[in-house]
Amino acid sequence: MINRQILNKILEAGIRAPSGDNSQPWRIKIHQNSVSIYCMVDADESYYDYKQRGSFIAHGALVESIIIAAETLGYKVIVREFPKKEEPYLTAILDFKPSVRKRHYLYNAIFERTTNRRKYRDIPLSESHKKMLLDITREYPNYKLILIEDRKDKEKVSEALSFTDRFFLEDKHTHRILFNKIRFIKDDHVLSRTGMHINTLELIPPEKVAIRLFSKWKILKIFNIFGISKMLPKNTARLYNTSSAIAVAVMPGKRSIDFFNAGRYIQRLWLTATESGMAFAPITALPYLASMIEENKKNLISRKHVEDALKADKIIKQTAGIKNNNTIVMTFRLGYADKPTSYSNRLPLEEVLLH
């Protein structure tokens, strides 16, 4: 039977994994020598978690961290992905086998990894960093990593990706979901251990004031008459444009298991970037929204938003040279930046365990 203290340490490392809006959409059941991991379907009800794809990516990241921590603490992990057809939200069963203790070179990065939403330094990626990320990608034959570095292309893609900043200021459902995830106070309450604290968004002071004001839909609607929803995304695009590269990770599949495995790959990339001093921040809302629209859910949002989202998505796909049969796993900023001013919180392990 696996030592419970060691297992807790391994799982603590796992739950540091990233998840959309810090929803932490996982619950874990401990057995004798294994754990079952369940996806919480209601944890993220945004359009951006269509078919729980974002959550499955987060689960893949969780499992990858568990594997790295387990190796460091003397266990090998056998992963059985989606092992029961009748339980589509049982994402994995992990079996732990005793093994030689070997500190994994990415172990520390598990605790240092963060979404860095600051302004980046607007300098090119070093050749050795680029090679590192592309070498990792080669270890995962299903994935392709496209780095958009050309200034003009970066500008185009940054502007296209900023569409979702306009969308959340104009779409009532998305506005409600997002503001449910933003925490304006920091305390020890369980609620503040999920979601995103306002400081982690790294807004400049006027934006911080505005975001509080715009949390009220009625007030926001008045500001929108004067075009605020179209003005703010311009700042976002400028911010994205300071990245050394806008990266796009793509894969051929669309099944739940494809997104889960993609999450393992993304976590590997993210930890490697962290370990070598690169800043990393996902900007995934647009490609996720576009795939929801393309898969016939367009009636949920306005016709104008459908049109503009698809137009923006097309710009990204064309610039990145993505073929029709490929799915975007994640778009993200890569580069160099100061450390974030604030870090995300997590539920304590006790709250994540199923008894």
Minimum CB distance to ligand FMN smaller for 20 or for 233: 20
Measure Cα distances from 344 to 11, 57, 334 in Å.
Answer: 17, 18, 19
Minimum CB distance to ligand FMN smaller for 102 or for 173: 173
Minimum CB distance to ligand FMN smaller for 95 or for 275: 275
Q: Determine the size of the site formed for ligand FMN (CB under 6 A).
A: 18
330 touches 260 (CB < 8 A): no
From 114, 102, 52, 56, select the one nearest 76 (Cα to Cα): 102
Angle in degrees, CA 68, 202, 168, rounded to 5: 95
From 271, 155, 156, 192, select the one nearest 24 (Cα to Cα): 192
Whole-number minimum distance, CB 13 to ligand FMN, in Å?
13
From 250, 210, 209, select the one nearest 231 (Cα to Cα): 210
Which of 196, 211, 247, 251 is in the footprint of ligand FMN by CB under 6 A?
A: 196
What residues from 263 to 322 belong to the interface with ligand FMN (CB under 6 A)?
Answer: 281-285
295 touches 327 (CB < 8 A): no
Q: Does 58 bind ligand FMN (CB under 6 A)?
A: yes
- The pair of three-digit structure tokens given for residue 142, joined into one six-digit string: 């299903």
Whole-number minimum distance, CB 137 to ligand FMN, in Å?
18
Stretch of residues binding ligand FMN (CB under 6 A), selected from 97-105, 113-121, 132-140, 312-320:
113-121
Q: Which residue has the tokens 């499992």?
A: 63
Q: Does 117 bind ligand FMN (CB under 6 A)?
A: yes
Whole-number minimum distance, CB 267 to ligand FMN, in Å?
9
In the chain, what is the greatest distance between 2 CA atoms, to the nearest angstrom?
64
Whole-number minimum distance, CB 270 to ligand FMN, in Å?
8
Minimum CB distance to ligand FMN smaller for 125 or for 286: 286
What residues from 320 to 349 belong to the interface with ligand FMN (CB under 6 A)?
Answer: 344
138 touches 130 (CB < 8 A): no
Minimum CB distance to ligand FMN smaller for 147 or for 347: 347
Distance CA 132, CA 267 (A): 14
Buried b (16+ CB within 10 A) or exposed e, 330-339: bbbbbbbbee
351 touches 11 (CB < 8 A): no
Whole-number minimum distance, CB 21 to ligand FMN, in Å?
5
What residues from 67 to 96 belong to the interface with ligand FMN (CB under 6 A)?
Answer: none
Q: Does 2 bind ligand FMN (CB under 6 A)?
A: no
Q: Does 22 bind ligand FMN (CB under 6 A)?
A: yes
Distance CA 255, CA 77 (A): 23
Minimum CB distance to ligand FMN smaller for 21 or for 170: 21
Q: Does 19 bind ligand FMN (CB under 6 A)?
A: yes
Minimum CB distance to ligand FMN smaller for 75 or for 265: 265
Q: Is 304 left (phi over 0), alpha (psi -120 to 50) or beta?
A: alpha
Other C-beta atoms lying within 10 Å of the C-beta of residue 168:
23
What residues from 207 to 266 belong to the interface with ligand FMN (CB under 6 A)?
Answer: none
Nearest-CB residue to ligand FMN? 18
Phi, psi of 15, rounded to the nearest 5 degrees: -75, 5
Angle in degrees, CA 110, 112, 118, rounded to 5: 130
Minimum CB distance to ligand FMN smaller for 93 or for 110: 110
Minimum CB distance to ligand FMN smaller for 22 or for 244: 22
Minimum CB distance to ligand FMN smaller for 129 or for 287: 287
Whole-number minimum distance, CB 73 to ligand FMN, in Å?
21
Whole-number minimum distance, CB 57 to ligand FMN, in Å?
4
What angle, rounded to 10 degrees, do the helices at 205-214 and 217-225 form?
A: 120
In the complex, the residues that contact ligand FMN under the rule CB under 6 A are 18-22, 54, 57-58, 114-115, 117, 196, 281-285, 344
